[in-house]
A and B are shown apart, each in its own frame.
Chain A
Amino acid sequence: DAKTTQPTSMDCAEGRAANLPCNHSTISGNEYVYWYRQIHSQGPQYIIHGLKNNETNEMASLIITEDRKSSTLILPHATLRDTAVYYCIVRVTNAGKSTFGDGTTLTVKP
């Protein structure tokens, strides 16, 4: 697996966009970028994934740089319920096990 680097923690004001960065400079051509989040020790929840094009779903947007060495998860209008640990993972799509690092603790403040 390519190694990922994320900031330990971030704050965001409620209603504003939360931009969570992830560096994955050793990513290989067939590896996807996946994002999960874990709210207060619940099981992690899948958010979004992508290969090289930007992706958007009902939860978030994923922006991947052209060289694919970094990406940003965007929560367009953060709410208090988005406070969680966010994990960036790089894997080939058909691989089995996934390794979760320390992630970024996002705190959304009123």
Chain B
Amino acid sequence: EADIYQTPRYLVIGTGKKITLECSQTMGHDKMYWYQQDPGMELHLIHYSYGVNSTEKGDLSSESTVSRIRTEHFPLTLESARPSHTSQYLCASSRSGANVLTFGAGSRLTVL
């Protein structure tokens, strides 16, 4: 039973479209993260947030942006999608004082 939800699970869109990947968690976790993973490759942290109105860039540069207006919600937006953005995007959360990450099922994005 998932406590962190990502939508959509799969998305195929054309170049230049704006997209938002949703991530919500019901655990009251303060910290949330976005990772990007290409097939067969390692996960790369692209954004993270330690609380409401706090967002930081991750280790891998990304053209996406994030917002954290509510504790439970951490959406990721691409203003103008390109084929190079084709990847899987994984959202995760953890509570303060611990470092155990809970991941969502992922959003697989294909940009044509």
CA of A90 to CA of B70 in the docked complex: distance in angstroms? 30
Tell whether, in the assembled complex, residue B99 and residue A32 are in contact, meaning their CB atoms are under 8 Å apart.
Answer: yes
Residues 88-110 of A, flagged 1 when their CB comes within 8 A of B and 0 if not, give: 00011111111111110000000
Tell whether, in the assembled complex, residue A44 and residue B50 are in contact, meaning their CB atoms are under 8 Å apart.
Answer: no
User: Is B94 an interface position by the 8 A CB rule?
Assistant: yes
Residues 67-93 of A, flagged 1 when their CB comes within 8 A of B and 0 if not, give: 000000000000000000000000111
Shortest Cβ gap from B62 to chain A (Å): 14
Of A32, A92, A94, chain B has the most CB atoms within 10 Å of the CB of A94
Shortest Cβ gap from A1 to chain B (Å): 10
A46's partner among B88, B90, B102 (CB-CB below 8 A) is B102
Interface of A is mostly: loop
Q: A96-B48, A97-B48, A99-B45 are in contact. Are A41 and B99 (CB under 8 A)?
A: no
B43: chain A residues within 8 A (beta carbon): 44, 100
Shortest Cβ gap from A44 to chain B (Å): 5
User: Is B98 an interface position by the 8 A CB rule?
Assistant: yes
Size bracket, chain B contacts: 20 to 34
Tell whether, in the assembled complex, residue B102 and residue A94 are in contact, meaning their CB atoms are under 8 Å apart.
Answer: no
Q: A44-B43, A103-B42 are in contact. Are A98 and B101 (CB under 8 A)?
A: yes
- Enumerate 27 A-B pairs (CB-CB under 8 Å) in ascending A order: A34-B100, A36-B101, A41-B37, A41-B88, A41-B106, A42-B105, A43-B104, A43-B105, A45-B103, A46-B100, A46-B101, A49-B99, A91-B99, A93-B97, A93-B98, A94-B96, A95-B99, A96-B31, A96-B94, A96-B99, A97-B33, A97-B59, A98-B101, A99-B45, A100-B42, A100-B43, A102-B42
Task: State the A residues within 8 Å of B (CB).
Answer: 32, 34, 36, 41-46, 49, 91-103
